[in-house]
A and B are shown apart, each in its own frame.
Chain A
Amino acid sequence: GAGVSQTPSNKVTEKGKYVELRCDPISGHTALYWYRQSLGQGPEFLIYFQGTGAADDSGLPNDRFFAVRPEGSVSTLKIQRTERGDSAVYLCASSDRAWRGNEAFFGQGTRLTVV
């Protein structure tokens, strides 16, 4: 498809487990963003990639969170030793800053539930 794709759409995991969330951006988009959205709130920034490098990871809440984008396209958000407070919707967005300025297009999100 032409949009941002995130997998899985839902993930239930036990406290303490490791999870990986995947994002396929729009083809050709060089900028990729991860956000986290808690119930009743707006999305909150986690990390931004320009190409393969993390240009800004100031939103990652602690060192249990890590993200990679090794080939400048697909990105994976990794969460170690999950806690119940990590439960949220994790959103990925991409943009082609060369054409659309700062406009970002979002995927449908991965709903993570830690039990």
Chain B
Amino acid sequence: GQQLNQSPQSMFIQEGEDVSMNCTSSSIFNTWLWYKQDPREGPVLLIALYKAGELTSNGRLTAQFGITRKDSFLNISASIPSDVGIYFCAGSDSWGKLQFGAGTQVVVTP
């Protein structure tokens, strides 16, 4: 099925570094969401964005809803080992139906 374009596919970073990933789509969404998934677990919601241009923070996480409503980015500041995992962006239609990116694998080395 069609998915959003999420990049990068993977990142290998050192503890303490900042992480940035983004997602683009050819379609407009009215909500953008960012999830983190650990092995053998379901995705866990990190941040939800509802308005174009909105910038939202959750601890060390910051995400923005692009002004065109076709893109979003997620930043993680001062990474720590527990940030390791797969991060997914998702765009939502009016009914909450989600279209996901392919994920960004983050590996944090001490």
- Contact (Cβ within 8 A) B100 A43: yes
Please tell me if the beta carbons of B97 and A108 are within 8 angstroms of each other in the complex.
no
Judge whether A108 and B42 touch: CB under 8 Å. yes
Q: Which single residue of chain B is at the shortest CB-CB distance from A3?
A: B42
With an 8 A cutoff between CB atoms, is A67 at the interface?
Answer: no
The residues in B between 64 and 110 inclusive whose CB is less than 8 angstroms from any CB of A are 88, 90, 92, 94-103
**What's the nearest-Cβ distance from chain A to residue B88, in Å?**
5
The A/B interface has a contact count, at CB < 8 Å, of 81
A105 contacts which chain B residues (CB < 8 A)?
Answer: 45
Question: Counting CB contacts under 8 A, is A79 at the interface?
Answer: no
A45 touches B99 (CB 8 A): yes
Chain A residue at minimal CB-CB distance from B41: A108
**Contact between chains at B48 and A44 (CB < 8 Å):** no
Q: How long is the Cα–Cα vector from A41 to B43 in the complex, in angstroms?
A: 12
> Does A1 have its Cβ within 8 Å of any Cβ on chain B?
no
Can you name 29 A-B pairs with beta carbons within 8 Å? Answer: A33-B96, A33-B97, A33-B98, A35-B98, A40-B103, A42-B3, A42-B6, A42-B101, A42-B102, A43-B43, A44-B3, A45-B97, A45-B98, A48-B95, A50-B95, A55-B95, A59-B1, A91-B43, A97-B96, A100-B48, A102-B30, A102-B33, A102-B50, A103-B45, A104-B98, A106-B42, A106-B44, A108-B42, A109-B40
Q: Which residues of A contact B (CB under 8 A)?
A: 4, 6, 31, 33, 35, 40-45, 48, 50, 55-56, 59, 91, 93, 95, 97, 100-109, 111
What residues of chain B have their CB less than 8 Å away from a CB belonging to chain A? 1, 3-4, 6, 30-31, 33, 35, 40-45, 48, 50, 88, 90, 92, 94-103
